[in-house]
């Protein structure tokens, strides 16, 4: 997507690149905490609002639904709008919605606030990915996207464990106030450090929407929606799994979340580099690894050390998988790069909603907190099957070109 970056001098632009990446990553940190901290304080939310844990899980699904609804709206609206202004607007909306979540008096109002908080998620990450690519040398698109997406694993390493600990110690509302503050700070830093860009005169809302007419685009979205649902089916209920299945105290939940976050940080870093080698091979290998790890967690969750090690593998494979899926979707979207970059996060949050919902169903049906891991493994295999269909479609499309 062509854009004009200010300041125009190469030296000045280069000097601002590290700070621009810091601002974009910080926005991702806030989004990552908002998305995942609810899972860590789910028992506290349920107790504070007087509902069951599966019912409190609807707050997770509401955020995911907001991402799904917001992604196409943000992408189409951003087709010809200044990129930096939109990034700032997305962060401000995110901050206000999380403040509303912190003030929510009932489960219904919390669900509404979480829905609104999810609306700017995909738009921010999509535009941040495009901004990162534009700031990076040719051939390093995977690394640029991987760097921007470090916000979520950094959140998992530091923000989510701290937010979970704070929610347990001082009440779950503190977690959302902290997220609101991070969102506001990120908006200010994007304004200060991300280079200003002119509106894309070549952008077209109609061109962005044409991506939805391509079956390959839908297949790639389905890979994320189904396959990544496996991780969310397990991770959404990780807190009660650690306390009820593994038999550890509440204080161990932040420790498990920290280890998962470190593994995700490493996986995102490696995933960006692996995607520069081969997007499809990385996607396939990480899909296989994630499915195997989720199946293993069904058995290892009963013992502390094996559970921790398996959770580490889940974090590593799933985070590398996300980077490769982001790039794959941008590839198949063609000229509609904004919709491709944003809709990846929509598909991942369909996975979020699907995984949390199905995981809650099997728990409510009396199968216990180990059962979501089996559901997760099945969803991961489903994503692999969709990936197989996508590859067959791509092969058939390429065949006439080879014959010609």
Q: How is the chain split into domains, by residue range?
A: 11-403
Judge if the upstream peptide bond of residue 107 is cis by omega within 30 degrees of 0.
Answer: no
Domain 11-403 part of CATH 2.40.50.1020: no
Spatial CB neighbours of 392, under 8 Å, sequence gap ≥ 6: none
Per-residue confidence at 78, pLDDT binned at 50, 70, 90? low
pLDDT at 11 over 80: no
Instruction: Determine how many CB atoms are found less than 10 A away from the CB of residue 185.
Output: 17
Predicted local confidence at residue 116, as pLDDT? 97
The Cα 386–Cα 391 span in angstroms is: 9
The Cα 271–Cα 286 span in angstroms is: 9
Residue 228 carries which DSSP code?
T
Rg (Cα) of the chain, in Å, rounded? 20
Q: pLDDT per residue over 150-166, tens digit each?
A: 898 898 788 888 898 89
pLDDT at 324 over 60: yes
Answer with the residue of higher pLDDT: 395 or 226: 226
The Cα 241–Cα 239 span in angstroms is: 5
pTM of the model: 0.77
Predicted local confidence at residue 3, as pLDDT? 39
The Cα 252–Cα 229 span in angstroms is: 25
Through-space distance between the first and last CA atoms of the chain, rounded to whole angstroms:
30
Q: Please enumerate, as own/partner, the contacts of 110-113 that have beta carbons within 8 Å and a separation of 24 or more.
A: 110/45, 110/49, 110/59, 111/58, 111/59, 111/62, 112/62
The Cα 10–Cα 153 span in angstroms is: 31
3-state secondary structure 304-371: HHHHHHHHHHHHHHHHHHHHHHHHHHHHHCCCCHHHHHHHHHHHHHHHHHHHHHHHHHHHHHHHCCCH
Q: pLDDT per residue over 42-59, tens digit each?
A: 889 999 999 988 788 889
């Amino acid at each position: 997507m062509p854009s004009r970056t200010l300041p125009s001098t190469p030296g000045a632009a280069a000097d601002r690149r590290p700070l621009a990446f810091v601002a974009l990553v910080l926005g991702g940190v806030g989004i990552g905490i908002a998305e995942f901290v609810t899972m860590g304080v789910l028992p506290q939310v349920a107790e504070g609002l007087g509902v069951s844990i599966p019912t409190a899980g609807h707050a997770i699904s509401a955020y995911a639904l907001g991402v799904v609804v917001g992604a196409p709206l943000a992408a189409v609206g951003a087709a010809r709008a200044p990129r930096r202004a939109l990034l700032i607007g997305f962060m401000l909306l995110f901050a206000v919605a999380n403040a509303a979540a912190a003030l929510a008096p009932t489960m219904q109002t919390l669900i509404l606030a979480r829905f609104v908080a999810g609306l700017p998620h995909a738009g921010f990450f999509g535009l941040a990915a495009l901004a990162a690519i534009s700031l990076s040398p040719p051939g390093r698109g995977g690394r640029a996207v991987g760097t921007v997406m470090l916000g979520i694993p950094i959140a998992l390493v530091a923000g989510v464990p701290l937010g979970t600990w704070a929610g347990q110690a001082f009440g779950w509302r503190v977690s959302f106030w902290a997220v609101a503050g991070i969102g506001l700070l990120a908006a200010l830093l994007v304004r200060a450090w991300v280079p200003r860009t002119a509106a894309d005169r070549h952008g077209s809302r109609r061109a962005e929407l044409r991506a939805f007419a391509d079956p390959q685009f839908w297949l790639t979205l389905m890979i994320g929606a189904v396959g990544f649902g496996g991780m969310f089916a397990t991770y959404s209920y990780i807190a009660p799994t650690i306390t009820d299945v593994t038999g550890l105290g509440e204080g161990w939940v932040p420790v498990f979340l920290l280890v998962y976050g470190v593994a995700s940080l490493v996986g995102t870093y490696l995933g960006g580099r692996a995607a520069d080698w081969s997007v499809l091979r990385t996607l396939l290998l990480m899909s296989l690894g994630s499915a195997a790890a989720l199946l293993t967690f069904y058995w290892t969750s009963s013992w502390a050390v094996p559970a921790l090690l398996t959770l580490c593998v889940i974090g590593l494979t799933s985070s590398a998988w996300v980077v490769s899926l982001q790039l794959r979707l941008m590839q198949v979207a063609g000229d509609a790069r904004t919709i491709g970059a944003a809709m990846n996060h929509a598909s991942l949050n369909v996975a979020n909603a699907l995984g949390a919902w199905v995981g809650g169903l099997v728990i409510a049906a009396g199968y216990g907190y180990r059962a979501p891991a089996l559901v997760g493994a099945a969803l991961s295999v489903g994503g692999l099957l969709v990936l197989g269909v996508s590859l067959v479609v791509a092969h058939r499309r390429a065949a006439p070109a080879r014959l010609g």
